């Protein structure tokens, strides 16, 4: 999952980036509202974490601007002000949830995951597509109730597929999703991971959950 | 006791003054009229004496006066005017035909050539009399006579009665016309004050945020100062809010960093507890600091609008719980308070309700009249959650005390609510809801009633 993190405090930003990366997210960071707005327009993120008190353009203004441009991805606001005025204004401006500083990192992860699964149309933390089940919190995957062991990349990919069912994802989008900006991408790697995932999720070739669309990418769908 | 309105006081005072002035005027005019009337009557009597004198002549010690005089009233019986002549010993020499018998006692003039006025009684009739002493010389002998003329008092007094009737009638009409004029003049003169009163009420109501500029010179000083004060208070409050927000930001971001770093020291409970305590105390004080309570002038809070804002936000946060909220609020209900305070009040109470509710929350807000005839805004929020016991309801408002570990709030929301209600001189009660969960009832003094009554007046 790829997140955009806009926070003006350098130390907190670095700490959150490192913790979120450790938790398996791909994180893009910036320190002011204007850059944050630019990045959300240019790149696709599954979720944005925005601090309200930002220099140049306030978090609320960034959210309002994005929502007026029909930006549909979930937004979580971080705020130092715990007054309901700020919470209500933030949420009514278009944010989906808020978190008051200071917060437990586990709480941030829980909120982010809940928002991601809601965006994917799931009501509980266990995502289900046919016989395939994925628990966002525990990161466990089952096929026909049998646990399946996945690598970090494979897990990221299956979570992406589960949260974006029926949608076509190009190799570029997937590579962008799996790697940080700085890493050089190799589209062959995506093919390799997809192939391994197909084998692990569908060893006897009955289910065919990942469809290859020539020249366009992949589509995850359970018939 | 409440002092009477300025206009009433002004009117009452001017009414008393008008009455006193009018009464004194009536007395003075009445007395001078009577005085004038008596003088005229005396003058007339003097002329009557002279007219009798002119027709009387002395011949050989004998005074001759014609029986019929020129003035017909002297010749008509009971005409009220008569004349008589007495000799030096006061024995009657002559009388006019208008009188049968002279009064028993007539005061005569003691000095020659002098007129003397007095009253005399015949039966039950009273007469104003004039007596004149004259000495005539006839062939060397000096004869003294008393010439008397008199007019019935009743005729003179009749004039006074008629005059008084018109005088008093006229003065009463003038007084009433004056008072009516004063009433309208006062109404007109006091209009700016009424306007000011209305404007101040609409300030409290939140329809306006400043007084208008076109007031008369006497009031413009007050209105300008009031406007400046309102503006200053508003700015100060905003500045305070901003600095509190800055303080929150500068304290809480490092707290977030510390809290993030604590992941690596998860076994150190003492450190963690200390951090939680610091955080709670910052949180509580900051949140309490921005409560404004009753302000000098507050923009009115549109209750339904604020409630809907909070509900929309909470439905977003608790989207997974799919809670059915049933709210009953009058559409146009406006409370004179601070919007942020109400966001805080509804936010904390409803967040609590959403946290504990199974699937239903009922909100009921209405204006109620208490037994001592005061208007209160009653806010009732109930849910179908677990509710609480009596000892819990006492504890619930103590800072930092949470009834259980459910949810993720810091447990100070309710303490903030408690402080807030206290600031508004309100009452907060907890109870068990019919839905099975908790019930919070808040009553705040509601003063919109005043606006309605003055608008009617």
Per-residue pLDDT of chain A (223 residues), as tens digits, is 889 999 999 999 999 999 998 888 889 999 999 999 999 998 889 899 999 888 888 899 999 999 999 888 999 999 887 788 888 989 999 999 999 888 888 889 989 988 988 888 777 778 888 888 888 778 889 888 888 888 888 888 888 888 888 888 888 888 877 776 656 667 688 888 888 988 888 888 888 888 888 888 899 888 7
Classify residue B138: in a domain, yes or no. Answer: yes
In a domain, B179, yes or no: no
3-state secondary structure chain B: CCCCCHHHHHHHHHHHHHHHHHHHHHHHHHHHHHHHHHHHHHHHHHHHHHHHHHHCEEECCEEECCCCCCCHHHHCCCCCEEEEEEECCCCEEEECCCCCCCCCCCCCCCCCCCEEEEEEEECCEEEEEEEEEEEEEECCEEEEEEEEEEEEHHHHHHHHHHHHHHHHHHHHHHHHHHHHHHHHHHHHHCHHHHHHHHHHHHHHHCCCCCCCCCCCHHHHHHHHHHHHHHHHHHHHHHHHHHHHHHHHHHHHHHHHHHHHHHHHHCCCHHHHHHHHHHHHHHHHHHHHHCCCCCCCCCCEEEHHHHHHHHHHHHHHHCHHHCCEEEEEECCCCEEECCHHHHHHHHHHHHHHHHHHCCCEEEEEEEEEECCCCCEEEEEEEEECCCCCCHHHHHHCCCCCCCCCCCCCCCCCHHHHHHHHHHHCCCEEEEEECCCCCEEEEEEEECCHHHHHHHHHC
Q: Are residues B311 and B430 in the same domain?
A: yes
Residue B361 · residue B324 · CB < 8 Å: yes
Q: Are B254 and B320 found together in one domain? A: no
Please report, for residues B250, B256, B301, B353, B371, the alpha-carbon distance to residue B348 in angstroms, rounded to integers and kept in the order given: 24, 22, 17, 9, 30
Contact B160, B36 (CB under 8 A): no
From A196's Cα to the closest Cα of chain B, the distance in A is 34
The pLDDT score that the predictor gives to residue A181 is 61
- Which of B240, B252, B265, B346 is best to mutate for the A interface (most A CBs within 10 A)? B252
Same domain for B254 and B128, yes or no, is: no
Residue B403 has pLDDT above 60, yes or no: no
B206 within a domain of the structure (yes/no): no
- Indicate if B304 and B445 belong to the same structural domain: yes
The rounded distance, in Å, linking the Cα atoms of A80 and A59 is 12
Query: Mean pLDDT over residues B19-33, rounded?
Result: 93
Per-residue pLDDT, averaged over B40-54, amounts to 92
Confidence class for position B393, pLDDT limits 50, 70, 90 = low
Is residue B382 within 8 Å of residue B434, measured between CB atoms? yes
In whole angstroms, what is the distance from residue B83 CA to residue B74 CA?
Answer: 7
CB contact under 8 A, B248 and A118: no
Contacts of B258 in chain A (CB under 8 A): 102
* pLDDT for the residue B325: 93
Share of chain A above pLDDT 90, in %: 27
pLDDT single digits (tens) B416-442? 888 888 888 888 888 888 888 888 999
Instruction: Name the least confident of A62-66, A95-99, B76-80, B400-404.
Output: B400-404
Contact of B40 with chain A, judged by CB distance below 8 Å, is answered with: no
Residue A126: strand, helix, or coil: strand
Domain that holds residue B42: 10-160
Tell me what the mean pLDDT of segment B226-231 comes to.
Answer: 86
Residues B379, B281 share a domain = no
* Residue B318 sits in the same domain as residue B262: no
Coil, strand, or helix at residue A10?
helix
pLDDT score for B244 = 83
Q: Do residue A84 and residue B253 have CB atoms under 8 angstroms apart?
A: no
Percentage with pLDDT > 90 across chain B = 27
Q: Does B344 sit within 8 Å of A81, measured CB to CB?
A: no
Name chain B contacts of A92, Cβ cutoff 8 Å. Answer: 309, 312-313
pLDDT tens readout for residues B326-344: 999 988 888 878 888 899 9
Cβ of A84 within 8 Å of Cβ of B255? The answer is no
Contact B295, B233 (CB under 8 A): yes
Contact at 8 Å (CB) between B220 and B193? Answer: no
Which chain B residues are Cβ-neighbours of A107 within 8 angstroms? 408
Instruction: Write the ipTM.
Output: 0.75
Please indicate, yes or no, if residue B155 is contained in any of the structural domains. yes
B260 contact residues in A (CB cutoff 8 A): 12, 15-16, 19, 102, 105
**CA–centroid distance for B290 within its chain:** 38
Determine, yes or no, domain membership for B404: yes
- Over residues B88-113, the mean pLDDT reads 85
pLDDT for B405 equals 39
Burial of A86 (0-12, 13-18, 19+ CB in 10 A): buried
Q: Tell me how far CA of residue B133 lies from CA of A96, B45, B138, B145, B451, in angstroms.
A: 125, 14, 16, 6, 85
CA proximity to A44, closest of A99, A100, A98, A119: A119
| A95 vs B contacts (CB less than 8 Å) | 316
Is residue B174 assigned to a domain?
no
Is the pLDDT assigned to residue B76 strictly greater than 80?
yes
Tally A–B CB contacts below 8 A: 95
Q: How far apart are CA A173 and CA A194, in angstroms?
A: 14
Assess if residue B181 is contained within a domain: no
Chain-centroid distance of CA B357 in Å reads 52
Would you state the pLDDT for residue B1?
Answer: 57
Cα distance from A191 to chain B (closest Cα, Å)? Answer: 36
Return the H-helix or E-strand segment holding A219. Answer: strand A217-220
Asked if B371 and B412 sit in the same domain, the reply is yes
pLDDT band at B298 (very low <50, low <70, confident <90, very high): low
pLDDT above 90: residue B407: no
Last residue of a domain, which of B280, B297, B314? B297
pLDDT of residue B139: 83
Query: Do residues B102 and B245 share a domain?
Result: no
Are residues B30 and B152 part of one domain?
Answer: yes
Interacting residues of A173 by C-beta distance below 8 A, sequence separation 6+? A44, A217
| pLDDT for the residue numbered A206 | 83
The tokens describing B8, both together, are 């009433």
Cα–Cα distance for residue pair B358/B353, rounded to 1 Å? 9
Summarize the confidence of residues B172-177 as an average pLDDT: 93
Q: Which residue carries 């949420």 as its tokens?
A: A91
Q: Which of A193-197, B148-152, B277-281 has the least mean pLDDT?
A: B277-281
Strand order across the B141-152 sheet: B92-95, B81-87, B141-152, B125-138, B115-122
Tell me which residue of B249, B17, B404 sits closest to A53, measured CA to CA: B249
Are B38 and B95 part of one and the same domain? yes
List B residues 282-321 in contact with A (Cβ-Cβ < 8 A): 283, 286-287, 290, 309-310, 312-313, 316-317, 319-320
β-bridge mates for residue B152, sequence order = B127
pLDDT for B382 equals 92
Number of domains comprising chain B: 3
For position B449, what pLDDT does the model report? 42
When pLDDT is cut at 50, 70 and 90, the band that residue B396 belongs to is low
Q: What is the mean pLDDT of residues B257-282?
A: 83
The stretch B251-258 carries a mean pLDDT of 88
Q: What angle do CA B251, B253, B256 make, to 5 degrees?
A: 110
Closest CA to B107 of B132, B87, B74: B132
Whether residue B176 is contained in a domain is answered as no
Q: Could you tell me if B346 and B378 lie in one domain?
A: yes
Residues β-bridged to residue B364: B328, B380
In this structure, are B303 and B447 located in the same domain?
A: yes
Q: Is the pLDDT of residue B450 over 90?
A: no
pLDDT of residue B456: 36
Question: Tell me, what CATH number does B108's domain have?
Answer: 3.30.450
Among B274, B297, B320, the domain boundary falls at B297
CATH at residue B444: 3.30.565.10
Instruction: Compute the mean pLDDT over every residue in chain B, rounded to the nearest whole number.
Output: 83
- pLDDT band at residue B404 under the 50/70/90 scheme: very low
User: Of B135, B160, B185, which residue is a domain's last?
Assistant: B160
- Please report residues of B whose CB lies closer than 8 A to that of A16: 260
Order the strands of the A141-143 sheet from edge to edge.
Answer: A126-129, A132-135, A141-143, A146-148
- Do residue B252 and residue A15 have CB atoms under 8 angstroms apart? no
């Amino acid at each position: 999952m790829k997140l955009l993190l806009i926070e003006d405090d350098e130390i907190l930003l670095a700490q959150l980036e490192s913790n979120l990366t450790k938790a398996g997210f791909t994180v893009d960071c910036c320190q002011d509202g204007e850059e944050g707005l630019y990045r959300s327009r240019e790149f696709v993120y599954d979720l944005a974490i925005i601090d309200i008190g930002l220099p140049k353009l306030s978090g609320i203004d960034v959210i309002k601007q994005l929502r007026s441009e029909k930006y549909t991805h979930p937004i979580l606001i971080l705020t130092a002000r715990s007054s309901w005025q700020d919470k209500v204004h933030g949420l009514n401006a278009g944010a989906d949830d808020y978190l008051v500083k200071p917060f437990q990192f586990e709480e941030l992860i829980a909120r982010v995951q809940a928002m991601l699964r809601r965006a994917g149309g799931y009501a509980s933390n266990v995502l289900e597509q046919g016989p395939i089940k994925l628990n966002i919190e525990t990161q466990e995957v089952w096929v026909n109730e049998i646990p399946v062991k996945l690598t970090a990349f494979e897990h990221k990919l299956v979570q992406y597929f589960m949260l974006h069912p029926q949608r076509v994802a190009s190799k570029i989008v997937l590579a962008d999703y799996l790697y940080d900006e700085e890493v050089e991408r190799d589209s062959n790697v995506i093919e390799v991971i997809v192939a391994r995932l197909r084998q692990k999720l569908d060893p006897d070739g009955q289910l065919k959950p990942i469809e290859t669309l020539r020249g366009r990418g992949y589509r995850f769908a359970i018939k | 006791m409440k002092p009477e309105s300025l206009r009433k006081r002004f009117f009452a005072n001017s009414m008393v003054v008008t009455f006193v002035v009018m009464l004194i005027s009536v007395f003075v005019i009445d007395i001078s009229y009577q005085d004038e009337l008596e003088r005229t009557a005396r003058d007339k009597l003097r002329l009557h004496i002279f007219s009798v004198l002119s027709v009387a002549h002395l011949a050989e010690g004998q005074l001759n006066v014609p029986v019929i005089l020129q003035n017909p009233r002297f010749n008509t019986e009971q005409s009220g005017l008569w004349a008589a002549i007495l000799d030096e010993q006061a024995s009657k020499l002559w009388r006019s035909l208008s009188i049968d018998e002279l009064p028993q006692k007539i005061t005569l003039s003691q000095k020659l050539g002098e007129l003397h006025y007095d009253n005399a009684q015949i039966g039950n009739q009273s007469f104003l009399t004039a007596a004149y002493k004259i000495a005539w010389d006839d062939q060397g002998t000096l004869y003294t006579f008393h010439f008397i003329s008199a007019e019935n008092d009743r005729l003179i007094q009749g004039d006074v009665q008629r005059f008084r009737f018109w005088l008093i009638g006229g003065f009463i009409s003038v007084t009433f016309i004056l008072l009516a004029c004063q009433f309208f003049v006062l109404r007109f003169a006091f209009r700016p004050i009424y306007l000011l009163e209305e404007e101040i009420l609409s300030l409290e109501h939140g329809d306006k945020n400043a007084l208008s500029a076109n007031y008369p010179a006497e009031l413009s000083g007050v209105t300008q100062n009031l406007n400046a004060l309102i503006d200053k208070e508003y700015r100060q409050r905003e500045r305070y809010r901003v600095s509190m927000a800055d303080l929150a930001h500068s304290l809480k971001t490092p707290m977030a960093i510390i809290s993030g770093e604590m992941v690596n020291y998860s076994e150190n409970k003492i450190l963690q507890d200390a951090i939680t305590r610091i955080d709670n105390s910052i949180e509580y004080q900051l949140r309490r600091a921005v409560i404004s309570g009753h302000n000098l002038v507050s923009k009115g809070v549109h209750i339904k609008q604020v409630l809907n804002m909070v509900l929309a936000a909470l439905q977003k946060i608790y989207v997974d719980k799919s809670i059915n909220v049933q709210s009953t609020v009058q559409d146009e209900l406006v409370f004179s308070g601070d919007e942020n305070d109400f966001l805080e009040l509804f936010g904390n109470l409803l967040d609590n309700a959403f946290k504990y509710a199974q699937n239903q929350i009922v909100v009921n807000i209405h204006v109620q009249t208490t037994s001592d005839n005061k208007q209160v805004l009653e806010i009732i929020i109930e849910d179908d959650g677990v509710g609480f016991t009596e000892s819990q309801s006492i504890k619930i408002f103590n800072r930092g005390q949470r009834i259980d570990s459910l949810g993720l709030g810091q447990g100070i929301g309710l303490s903030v609510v408690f402080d807030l209600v206290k600031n508004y001189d309100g009452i907060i009660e907890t109870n068990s809801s019919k839905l099975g969960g908790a019930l919070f009832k808040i009553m705040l003094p509601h003063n919109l009633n005043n606006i309605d009554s003055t608008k009617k007046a």
